[in-house]
Structure 1
Amino acid sequence: MSEQNARLRADVCVIGGGPGGLMLGLQLARRGHRVVVVEQSARYKRHFRGESVSPDSVRLLHRLGLMDTIAARGDFARTTRFEISDGGAPALRVDFRDISPDGSLPTEIPQQVLLEVLAEEAARHPGFTLLRRSSVIDLLSSADGRITGARCTGADGPLDIHADLTVGADGRFSSVLELSGLPFSKRPLGRDVLWFKVPLPDAWDDDTVRVRIDRDRHALMLPTHPRSLRVGLNIPKGGLKQVRAQGLAALHGQITAFAPELGPAVRTHLTRWSDLSLLDIFTTSVPRWSRPGLVLIGDAAHTLSPILGQGVNHALMDALALAPLVSRALAAPDRHRQLTAAVTRFQKLREPAVERTRRTQSAQERAFGLASAPAVRVRQQAYRLVDSQPWLKHWLWRRIYYPLRLA
């Protein structure tokens, strides 16, 4: 190690200041531990990142005293309904007020707001440090192969962070996963998504999520604060070059075909390609989320499809499950051995829920990808069958949005 590298000591080093990383940092700092969170960005400008927070996560944010702070800012929008139209006709409608066990509803929280609230609350604790504009460039290890921290670079130069546990919370393109030596496989899905934001049409309410499907194409429309709409338009895998070659006018036409109500807004507000953001859709399978001294959480451990907006929720749940296990291990005399046991236990606790979501998303991805006329008719009939049976509809949606209440 170079003598020029500055050094920092912590109980836990978290790489990635997204929802999972900051929530974990906050929970460990509340328990009196020294935590360093390393974050690349200088400010949280994440307009096209996940904003959909599940009812279970909303309930936990309330329990932690954080939802009141978010509510005081007014920067959120509650979702009461979910609607699917297929082939231009309504196919499935869900009212969350009818199925919520306790009145909690899916909520759209701008990720910038959520991250700022988490960071501000964590900063109240003396053991918490947030390093912005910093990136991991390598992992530190001992002679026996145990990960002992991370080598980072930032505005002030190189920094070695020594920690009993290093946590990779750096998302779907995780550098920690790449550096860890843990085996993983990445499976590209058959589409990408173009995200953009436009004003909410005057004729639309601000609490309904809408999905419009046309054969093997679909668009997802999510109301967000203030009276705006986040829209995800699926395109063929690697198809951005072709979309751009056709021009913005052609893209306006595609969007309008899905939702004529959006025609004026997209022509007015989508005037440059920089007004859109491309999301490369893939899933990552990591059989083992940890090795001695290191553990992965959130998308770094289990990248999911954006279907049903579960990425943020699993990251938050990972952090809340991991924090007490790590805290108890850090208090033990043989903390390194106990930490290894703790991160193994963490995966056993969380993996079943992640795999349930992955199976649900895979089934929905396959349904969205149906293109032949007979297959599309079967899909439409399946949606309408579910819609016609309230008990079945409620059972399915509770399993997706309220799994903790049913556990």
Structure 2
Amino acid sequence: MTVNGSMFVKVPSRSQADVVVVGGGLSGSLAAVLLGRAGYRVAFVDRHAVCPAQFRVEKIAGVQVELLRRMGLLDCLAAAGAPFVKVVNARRGRVLDETFGQHYGILYDDMVRVVREQLPPAVRFLVDRVVQIETGPDHQQVTLAGGEVISARLVVLATGMGDLLRQDLGISRRVIFEKHSTTFGFSISPAPGQAFGFPSLTYYGEQQADAIDYLTLFPVGDVMRANLFTYRDYRDPWLQDMRRDPKSTLLATLPGLGRFLGDFQVVTPVQYWIMDLCVAGDYERDGVVLIGDVFQTSCPAAGTGVSRLLTDVERLCMVHLPRWLASPGMGREKVSEFYQDPAKQAADRSALRAAHYRRGVTVDPGMGWTLRRQHAFIRRRLLGRVKDLQRALPAPSAGQAEA
């Protein structure tokens, strides 16, 4: 630019960090918090100062609860979520069984907001966009759209399913199953003066031809959130019917569902999400590591995506990275240790197996899958009846217990 007839060149500002975390969704936010708490200098970069509302994970349950507890982040997320313990499982208008465990219903953007609120002072949160990453065996250079250049030991790429930076680094992506599943999300409320007769409900598809794995209903705030997992072809007109008139479409496809819901209304627009199953390739690079969906995507119906993500964050930030930063260099031989981590590999394999199983047991017409499907529901119904009988029996007296 020219000032008073003289030419000036804007010099980019430069800064130093131990780690640059690129991407401010759940995986990136978790990584930034854990690394900042450990005392590392972290530059945390995302385009959004506030995570925009988007349809992603909306529930914490199972192994995710323990993983978050080990990270020291369960309490803050639990306080912001809607807790529930009992889940009624049903199909074709009948209860299969009831399962129990600690669950928390919480929308994705609220989850990210709560995690970001835990960012310690050691983390610089930069609302900006990364335009270039230059990697090497010792130091990495990250250039932001705003002009700042950050030098760091390691770059953690947590950009979800975004492709541009991954492609610029020469990291490929292999599509295992294109348009593997379609997931719908919306909220419902009972008719005025009524209430749902369950704390949470999982209702399974009634016919193999419907290509519905299950509908899960759980509390979020003052409404009941609905997640519907399907394997319908993305060109099927049913998907448009589901978006346009979800109540009628659901009840027509799952006629036994009305017994559990009674009269209800859909109180939010229907969101949907078509998932490709993908895995990264050529990812062992100097100075950069991939976590979460940028490394591998998961089937939403299998419920393994968040477990994989949390495993990635825990193993990288609490096991590998402290050891890496304690010695010079950040070559691919170090970074490869994360990808070869047995816990990470087990979580990745389990997610892929679960994705193929959920689709197969839901839509595959072959005899083997048909038998698996029938056996699974019959077994659950029988075990559910046994548990009901056990709960109905009177507790033994003190004398009987001693005998």
TM-score strictly above 0.5: yes
1:152 Cα deviation from its structure 2 partner: 2.8
Alignment match of 1:121 (pick from 112, 118, 121): 118
Does 1:40 pair with 2:47?
yes
Asked whether the 8 Å contact 1:206–1:224 carries over to 2, the reply is: yes
Q: Distance in 1 between matches of 2:84 and 2:368?
A: 37
Does 1:239 pair with 2:235?
yes
Asked whether the 8 Å contact 1:171–1:300 carries over to 2, the reply is: yes
Aligned residue type for 1:225: V
Please name the residue that 2:340 is paired with.
348
Q: Distance in 1 between matches of 2:380 and 2:335?
A: 39
1:22 Cα deviation from its structure 2 partner: 1.3
Does 1:149 pair with 2:141?
yes
1:295 Cα deviation from its structure 2 partner: 0.8
Please name the residue that 1:269 is paired with.
267
The structure that has the greater radius of gyration is 2
| Matched ranges for 1:270-285 at <5 A | 275-285=269-279
Q: Distance in 2 between matches of 1:93 and 1:8?
A: 57
1:336 Cα deviation from its structure 2 partner: 2.2
Cα 1:309–1:4 shift into 2, 3 Å: farther
Please name the residue that 1:379 is paired with.
373
Q: Distance in 1 between matches of 2:285 and 2:131?
A: 18
1:309 Cα deviation from its structure 2 partner: 2.0
Structure 1 segments, 4+ long, off by >4 Å, are 89-92, 240-243, 261-264, 371-378
Aligned residues: 363
Alignment match of 1:76 (pick from 64, 82, 106): 82
Cα 1:151–1:59 shift into 2, 3 Å: same
Does 1:177 pair with 2:183?
no
Aligned residue type for 1:110: L
| Matched ranges for 1:158-307 at <5 A | 158-186=147-175, 187-199=177-189, 202-216=195-209, 217-218=211-212, 219-226=214-221, 227-232=223-228, 234=230, 236-239=232-235, 243-244=239-240, 248-249=244-245, 251-257=246-252, 258=254, 259-260=257-258, 264-266=263-265, 269=267, 275-307=269-301
Cα 1:208–1:33 shift into 2, 3 Å: same
Alignment match of 1:93 (pick from 92, 97, 105): 97
Cα 1:277–1:50 shift into 2, 3 Å: same
1:368 Cα deviation from its structure 2 partner: 1.2
Q: Distance in 1 between matches of 2:273 and 2:383?
A: 35
Measured against aligned partners, the alpha-carbon deviations of 1:153-212 in whole angstroms (never above 9, x if no partner) come to 2xxx33333221111111123433232212320121444223222236723322343333
Give SS of 1:366's match: helix
Cα 1:252–1:209 shift into 2, 3 Å: closer
Q: Distance in 2 between matches of 1:215 and 1:225?
A: 30
| Matched ranges for 1:129-144 at <5 A | 129-132=124-127, 134-142=128-136
Q: Distance in 2 between matches of 1:173 and 1:84?
A: 37
Cα 1:181–1:330 shift into 2, 3 Å: same
Asked whether the 8 Å contact 1:193–1:280 carries over to 2, the reply is: yes
Q: Which of 1 and 2 has higher RCO (CA within 8 Å, sep 6+)?
A: 1
1:292 Cα deviation from its structure 2 partner: 0.6
Q: Identity rate of aligned residues, in percent?
A: 21
1:4 Cα deviation from its structure 2 partner: 4.8
Give SS of 2:361's match: helix
Q: Give the TM-score taking structure 2 as reference length.
A: 0.78
1:297 Cα deviation from its structure 2 partner: 0.4
1:387 Cα deviation from its structure 2 partner: 4.9
Which one has a larger percent helix, Structure 1 or Structure 2? 1
Cα 1:198–1:60 shift into 2, 3 Å: same
Alignment match of 1:56 (pick from 54, 63, 87): 63
Q: Distance in 2 between matches of 1:46 and 1:17?
A: 13
Asked whether the 8 Å contact 1:48–1:196 carries over to 2, the reply is: no
Alignment RMSD (CA, Å): 3.2
Aligned residue type for 2:151: H
Q: Distance in 2 between matches of 1:385 and 1:244?
A: 35
Give SS of 1:170's match: coil
1:363 Cα deviation from its structure 2 partner: 0.8
1:41 Cα deviation from its structure 2 partner: 2.4
Measured against aligned partners, the alpha-carbon deviations of 1:114-145 in whole angstroms (never above 9, x if no partner) come to 322221212xx33201223x233332245x8x
Structure 1 unmatched ranges of 5 or more: 98-104, 394-407
Asked whether the 8 Å contact 2:231–2:359 carries over to 1, the reply is: no
Q: Distance in 2 between matches of 1:175 and 1:199?
A: 40
